[in-house]
């Protein structure tokens, strides 16, 4: 029987192997990236597999009050292994963070005979103190891209997403698959995330106007394919050419795609 941590691993591979993702690495195109390809993501996924297993174990064995501290420690080790496997290329830093929390919350709920619908509330308990990180930034010598965005623009990024229990996933992205369990649903998930997420990967590579451009463009494509679903692939290809020209990569939405894929299939454990 597949374990939750194995499903998390499969979801990272699903994301990179889904073709036609605009600006992102897939088997047909490296998108806006010249320093990575599918093999880079496979190496990264392989490096994270054993850590996914540890996240699941922590979820099954730790108390909720102590869980985030344990996950953070394990996540830092995982991140080092990821960078070692990819020659210091950041493939899954954000997804590693998100998957640690969500995987632990899922395994906690399964272990304690809770329902799938309880997962989001457990995530919120695990991450209830996460925003206190921002109070400590003035003491940090080395800042991540996300931390710099907070200092310069008060953008809370992935920490705030975790603090909300990944509201976008549970309220908008998961229902897209539940209402239409098909590969088409995952393109809708990606585009919906691109239309709404305050994607720090885009902000790092572009700026606020670049983020708004992606959000507006994605909304327009979503509206178009609702009327003309057969045009989806051609629209994605056009968007990919445009994003490559503008050096745009919606990496945060790629992480949300993998995370949503995991949760879509984790439902069978409950």
| Sequence-distant (≥ 6) Cβ neighbours of residue 94 within 8 angstroms | 158, 200, 201, 251, 252, 255
Q: Mean pLDDT of all residues in the chain? A: 92
Tell me the per-residue pLDDT of 97-134, one tens digit each, with 9 for 90 and over: 999 999 999 999 999 999 999 999 999 999 999 887 66
Between 18 and 154, residue with greater pLDDT: 18
pLDDT band with cut points at 50, 70 and 90 for residue 147: low
Positive or negative torsion for Cα 45, 107, 56, 73: positive
| Sequence-distant (≥ 6) Cβ neighbours of residue 261 within 8 angstroms | 11, 14, 15, 186
Instruction: Provide the domain count of the chain.
Output: 1
Is pLDDT of 179 > 80? yes
Write out the E strands in the chain: none
The mean pLDDT of 10-27, rounded to a whole number, is: 98
pLDDT score, position 120: 98
Tell me the per-residue pLDDT of 168-178, one tens digit each, with 9 for 90 and over: 999 999 999 99
Q: Say which range, 78-92, 139-153, 163-177, has the weakest mean pLDDT.
A: 139-153
pLDDT score, position 249: 95
The mean pLDDT of 18-45, rounded to a whole number, is: 97
Tell me the per-residue pLDDT of 221-250, one tens digit each, with 9 for 90 and over: 999 999 999 999 999 999 999 999 999 999
- Contact status, residue 49 vs residue 9, Cβ threshold 8 Å: yes
User: pTM of this prediction?
Assistant: 0.93
Is residue 197 packed enough to be buried (19+ CB in 10 Å), middle (13-18) or exposed (0-12)?
Answer: buried
CA distance 198 to 11: 22
CA atoms lying within 13 Å on the CB side of residue 5: 18
CATH code of residue 145:
1.10.4200
Closest CA to 158 of 98, 248, 90, 96: 98
Residue 261's domain spans which residues?
A: 4-269
- Contact status, residue 249 vs residue 243, Cβ threshold 8 Å: yes
pLDDT score, position 203: 82
pLDDT score, position 136: 66
Is pLDDT of 71 > 80? yes
pLDDT band with cut points at 50, 70 and 90 for residue 160: confident
Tell me the per-residue pLDDT of 32-50, one tens digit each, with 9 for 90 and over: 999 999 999 999 999 999 9
pLDDT score, position 152: 54
């Amino acid at each position: 029987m597949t374990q939750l941590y194995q499903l998390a691993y499969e979801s990272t591979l699903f994301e990179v192997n889904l073709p036609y993702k605009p600006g992102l690495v897939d088997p047909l195109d490296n998108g806006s990236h010249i320093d990575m390809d599918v093999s880079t993501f496979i190496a990264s996924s392989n490096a994270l597999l054993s850590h996914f297993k540890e996240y699941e174990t922590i979820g099954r064995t730790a108390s909720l009050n102590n869980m985030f501290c344990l996950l953070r420690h394990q996540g830092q080790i995982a991140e080092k292994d990821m960078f070692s496997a990819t020659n210091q290329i950041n493939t899954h830093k954000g997804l590693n963070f998100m998957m640690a929390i969500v995987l632990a919350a899922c395994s906690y709920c399964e272990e304690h005979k809770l329902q799938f619908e309880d997962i989001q509330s457990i995530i919120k308990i695990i991450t209830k103190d996460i925003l206190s990180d921002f109070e400590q930034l003035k003491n940090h010598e080395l800042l991540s891209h996300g931390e710099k965005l907070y200092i310069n623009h008060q953008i809370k990024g992935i920490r705030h997403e975790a603090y909300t229990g990944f509201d976008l996933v549970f309220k908008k992205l998961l229902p897209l698959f539940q209402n239409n369990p098909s590969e088409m649903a995952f393109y809708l998930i990606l585009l919906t995330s691109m239309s709404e997420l305050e994607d720090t990967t885009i902000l790092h590579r572009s700026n606020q106007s670049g983020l708004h451009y992606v959000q507006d463009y994605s909304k327009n494509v979503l509206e178009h394919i609702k009327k003309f679903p057969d045009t989806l692939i051609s629209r994605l290809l056009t968007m990919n050419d445009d994003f490559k020209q503008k050096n745009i990569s919606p990496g945060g939405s790629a992480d949300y795609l993998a995370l949503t894929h995991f949760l879509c299939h984790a439902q069978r454990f409950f």
